[in-house]
Amino acid sequence: MQRLRYLSTIVSDVGDLFVFVAPVTCVPLLVALLYAEWEMLIPMAAVPVIFFLIGVVIPSLPRQERGFRLSTAFCSVALFWFACAVVSGIPFMLALNMSFTDAVFEGMAGWTGTAFTMMVSLDTTPHALLFWRSYMQWVGGIGIIAFAIALGSSTGLSRSKIFRSESRDEPFLPSVMNTGRRLVKIYALLTFIAIGLILFTGLSLWEAVNLGLTTISTGGFTLHPDGILHYNNFALELLLIPLMIVGALPFKLYYLVIENRRFSLFGDMQVKLFLIILAIATAVVTYDLIFFTNLGLGAALHQAIFMTVSAMTTTGYQITGLHSWADVTILFFALVVFIGGAAGSTAGGIKLNRVGFAFQALFWWFQRVFLSGKVLIPFRIEGRIIPKAMAELETAKNMLIIILSVGTVAIASLIVIQFNASSYSVTETAFSIVSAFSNCGINTGYVSPAMPVISKWVFIITMWIGRLEVIPVVMLLIAVFKGED
């Protein structure tokens, strides 16, 4: 009974979020009207209607009054994201007769910004449904809850707690609502700029809008089965490189630019680390493509630069298939995808702030070991001195998330490999899992409508866990099986 009361509290806490997200999901209806796709009105209207009804009904459920707790925020956000994926799959079932599993997969890939897809006939898909895919990635890129907070949602949870539990960086303004609104404004501005620049490469407005949404959100969905290769447009590929990078850097930096604050772009730890890893990874992949795949220097550089940026920003665009790459290159590429982009951006992965913090903590630990115990060694991060107790706590938290992330990838890989089709190597299958966890979507070919149903659900859960950075899902599982801690 205690467990049921606790779960009812978790469910009740997300009611207002559903109400505020409902109008956000009405936008694809405008596309259906614009293209006179009358048959798409009911499938697309189903999403906001269901969100609104759930949001109205849930708060009326009996609940246990509780104070603000971060664990409750974690559970609520995890449940909310999964519910969004399920509801968002309804248009695919109604319009394309997709199976429930494939529809939920598409919804989860959309909201988590993963380029994997279960759709095989994109060129004949209605405009409203294509836009829905792009729009999900755009809203999900900055965070569904960030949008709800920006709209003024007032849940039973502390806004700052629910904001952070969506794997967001700390708010850079005193008010979380102001932070959410500022994020949305900056995000929209960057998106409009991206769309305008893409138009200059010769694409139509329809193509530019969809690519702009999925590039700034580092989502990776495209309008054609062969993705970016469909356009055969070198200028577009060159333009997408900086646009993907823009989406993978901390949005706080753009706020500082807009506010004319003094700051050094290259003084930011995550930016420095991003550029260093990107340069090293590009050099390694170029070398591998020349000596292991026998590409010429020009072709190797072309593939290496674009694919490495796509991998590290976790956008998922591809200009080549990985089946022609050597296993060692794919394994190295998996590491790049796993690291991902910056915290406070739309990118996935374990985030550069954790990698940077881990190296700083390791260096600090070795200093303490090899110097005299009487010498106090301060822990410095980006010029700030962190108290010893806080440094040790943050180190433990970072290592916990990294270990849980590695464990999630390992377990998911083992399960999927049991159902692996014989034409795909263990390396290719494991890479696909890493790509799902980091919400990237670069595909070795394993992820397709033909893969086993159990593998599809493993990928759905892996994308969900990766987007929320493990902890919220763990807390939800504890609540389901154990009840209140």
Q: What is the pLDDT of residue 149?
A: 53
SS3 of 262-317: CCCHHHCHHHHHHHHHHHHHHHHHHHHHHHCCCCCHHHHHHHHHHHHHHHHCCCCC
Name the residue range of residue 416's domain.
Answer: 267-469
Structural domain includes residue 394: yes
Query: How many other CB atoms are found less than 10 A from the CB of residue 204?
Result: 10
Q: Are 209 and 28 in contact (CB under 8 A)?
A: no
Size of the chain, expressed as the number of residues it contains: 485
Block mean pLDDT (10 aa), the chain, length 485: 56 74 93 96 96 84 59 80 95 96 98 95 94 96 64 47 52 58 87 98 98 97 95 97 96 80 73 96 97 94 98 97 93 97 92 90 78 68 75 85 96 91 84 97 93 96 94 84 62
Report helix, strand and coil shares of the chain as percent, to nearest 5. 70, 0, 30
Structural domain includes residue 88: no
Structural domain includes residue 440: yes
Structural domain includes residue 443: yes
- Please choose, from the candidates 321, 178, 324, 370, the residue with its C-alpha nearest in 3D space to the C-alpha of residue 255: 178
Q: What is the pLDDT of residue 2?
A: 54
Structural domain includes residue 42: no
Q: What is the pLDDT of residue 276?
A: 96
- The number of distinct structural domains making up the chain is 1
Structural domain includes residue 272: yes
Q: What is the pLDDT of residue 82?
A: 94
Q: Are 149 and 6 in contact (CB under 8 A)?
A: no
Structural domain includes residue 44: no
Structural domain includes residue 22: no
Q: What is the pLDDT of residue 3?
A: 56
Roughly what angle, to the nearest 10 degrees, separates helices 269-291 and 327-339?
170
Q: What is the pLDDT of residue 409?
A: 97
Q: What is the pLDDT of residue 158?
A: 45
